[in-house]
Chains A and B, each alone.
Chain A
Amino acid sequence: MGKYVTKRLLLLIPTLFLVCLMVFVLMRMVPGSAVEMVVYNFKQNGQVITEAEARARLGLDKPAVEQFFVWIWGMLHGDLGDCLFRGDTVWHVISSELPVSLELAIMSFIISTAASIPLGLFCAAHPDTAADVAIRTLSVIFASVPVFWIGTMVLVYPAVWWGYSVPLTFVPITKGFVANMKMFLVPSLVAALTTCGNNIRFVRTCTLEVMRQDYVRTAWAKGAKERRVMFSHAFRNALIPVVTMFGGSVAGMIGGNVVIENMFNIPGIGQQVVTALSNRDYPLAQGCTVVFAIFVMLVNLIVDITYKWCDPRVTLE
């Protein structure tokens, strides 16, 4: 087990190098460049700067290969570079905004899991009943409605009906736990709703697939009650695909909640990436992408280790 984890962690290194290379190349292939942005910004402020000067300021006058290795060398020393437009280091931006996005991702994951597993199991236990059809219909609706629509409804209608407005002033969790939770609850719920729709259906399908297995019948033959049969026998055997799916949805949430972060005024990393990309802020965009890549790889590692716990027949090697 320890050996397996070490091996997987070591494998992260070459993968990460490839990710860095791809990000670096792709960023530079995007039409438009940071140089034009700098020249434009200076012009807005009534100053004049030549392209060559701007290029030198950004460190883009050196050959691309050299730039790449300067970037990698810096990262190996814990220096992700400076943002081109914010007057801040990339590391500082990521370290202050990634936890905010993580909090949103974790909260919505917990809500979504806590809702989708019991509901999915309920549907699997009573397939094609009115309740099952109702839950499934709602799932499809929530999975297909765009998140900005749900977000807008949630922001507008409670205010109209009950005079309640969702708190939109950001309070870091370290400054005030209760205020922070109040702020995060609604956006987490909105994010959870959209993943929940898919997850409920997935839990239902996976569980239904094992419901007709012989060991489930054995559990009934023992005299087990429905809840025990569903949870300890059916669902326990449906866990592997479910864990895979849930892991994937967590990995996607970390940079994928841009719309929600934007609507609910949450200073998360998702929003930062979008800005960095549209400004062609190479160091910031590259840094964020690498951090996302590490996050996705770690989630996958955790998912793989969880397999062993889900099914003793799995061997990790």
Chain B
Amino acid sequence: MAVQEGEVILDVQNLQTWFLSGKHQETRLRAVDGLSYQVHKGEFVAVVGESGSGKSVSALSVMGLVPYPPGLIVGGKVLFHGKDLLQATDEEMQAIRGEKIAMVFQEPSTALNPVVTVGKQIAEALRIHNPGMSKKEAMAKAAGLLGEVGIPNPEVRARQYPFELSGGMQQRAMIAMAVSCGPELLVADEPTTALDVTVQAQVLDLLDRLRKKLGMAVVLITHNLGVVARYADSVKVVYGGKAVETGPTDAVFEEPCHPYTLGLLRAVPRLDLPRGYGLHPIVGEPPDMSKVPEESCAFAARCRYATDGCREGRPPMEEVGEGHYCACFHKGETLEERRALP
């Protein structure tokens, strides 16, 4: 896949979201710590990282939905068509949410209101952004949307409550709600984590089909590299709240320059290698972001190439290929290791 040519619709610059705790809010957990990335029109972007890497918080930051307290966006910019969403008023954000930027959450069973019918919840999204629409019209449209996301008997299902639907159907309904107003950007926060493996592929296919049909961009937050390889145009690998490697999917998979990216790739079980090859986990645990010094590489503690330079200075993002950026002092060694692997 080539480097995206289209217009940049979302430009996240040096985003910093902290969680403050303690009596005088002296404990600062830097969940998102200087994250930057761009999303082009109609692009399928994957944000990859392990649990606690700040990928979900970064998505909530874009939506302006970080729960405060304790979460607080302390710096950076989230430019949507050049307008900084972090400076937008509540009313402006309410007009953007659902209409221009929509979101699909991880657990469909808890993300849908349990005491309102599925159809009504979709109709509500429609009527919030189309005040002139009648209830009846919205309900009819909601049923149509349920049909479009592949739910059989949409008219019947629309009148049912979330607990009467299976997990896969709930997530489809969630997606129908998110795309109901034809957003330009859909943020999907691990939409398949709570689902069966067989249903996962269906849901992702649905997202991809809707993306092409509606021309919207999708930001998929995931830790599943298999999913990334199959669907994403570009990948942002996130570690310790910042992007450590970004670029077109092929480039990042073929020529990873960051030891963390390489670690993730090696941790994927492979069927094409001999049985004894085994799994190669990344040693150690995700860092406690309230303890990592600000001026250091967050991955240094777990990195086999780490030197004093890594612990004393934060490596800058540097271009390593066309549209392929990496923040590491040891790109060469990493790339060599990759090339030596089967």
Contact = CB atoms under 8 A, between A and B. Distances in A.
Interface string B103-116: 10101001111111
A313 to B, nearest CB: 5
B161 A313 contact: yes
Given A218-B105, A312-B161, A213 B115 contact: no
Interface stretch (B43-51, B92-100, B272-280, B281-289): B92-100
A212 interface: yes
Given A212-B67, A313-B161, A221 B113 contact: no
B272 to A, nearest CB: 39
B102 interface: yes
Given A215-B114, A236-B113, A237-B114, A223 B65 contact: no
B230 to A, nearest CB: 26
A146 B163 CA distance: 46
Interface residues of A, number: 23
A221 B97 contact: yes
Interface in A191-246: 212-215, 217-226, 228, 232-233, 236-237
Interface of B: 63, 65, 67, 90, 94-99, 102-103, 105, 107, 110-116, 124-125, 128-129, 161, 163, 174, 177
A222 B124 contact: yes
Given A212-B67, A312-B161, A224 B116 contact: no
Contact of B95 (A215, A218, A223): A223
Interface in A229-270: 232-233, 236-237
B124 A214 contact: no
A233 B105 contact: no
Interface string A138-154: 00000000000000000
A311 interface: yes
Nearest to B178: A221
Interface of A is mostly: helix
A223 B128 contact: yes
B109 to A, nearest CB: 9
Contacts of B63: 220-221
Q: Which 8 A-B pairs have the closest CB atoms?
A: A223-B98, A223-B97, A214-B110, A215-B113, A222-B98, A214-B111, A221-B103, A222-B125
Nearest to A211: B67
Contact of B96 (A223, A225, A237): A223
Given A214-B110, A226-B90, 20 more contacts: A212-B67, A217-B105, A218-B112, A218-B174, A218-B177, A220-B65, A222-B98, A223-B96, A223-B99, A225-B94, A228-B128, A233-B116, A236-B113, A237-B113, A310-B115, A311-B114, A311-B115, A312-B115, A313-B114, A313-B115
A236 B98 contact: no
A219 B116 CA distance: 12
A136 B115 CA distance: 29
Given A220-B65, A221-B63, A313 B163 contact: yes
Contacts of B177: 218, 222
Contacts of A236: 113, 115-116
A222 B113 contact: no
Contacts of B163: 312-313
B113 A218 contact: yes
B216 to A, nearest CB: 15
Contacts of A215: 110-114
A222 B63 CA distance: 10
Contacts of B67: 212
B145 to A, nearest CB: 14
A226 to B, nearest CB: 8
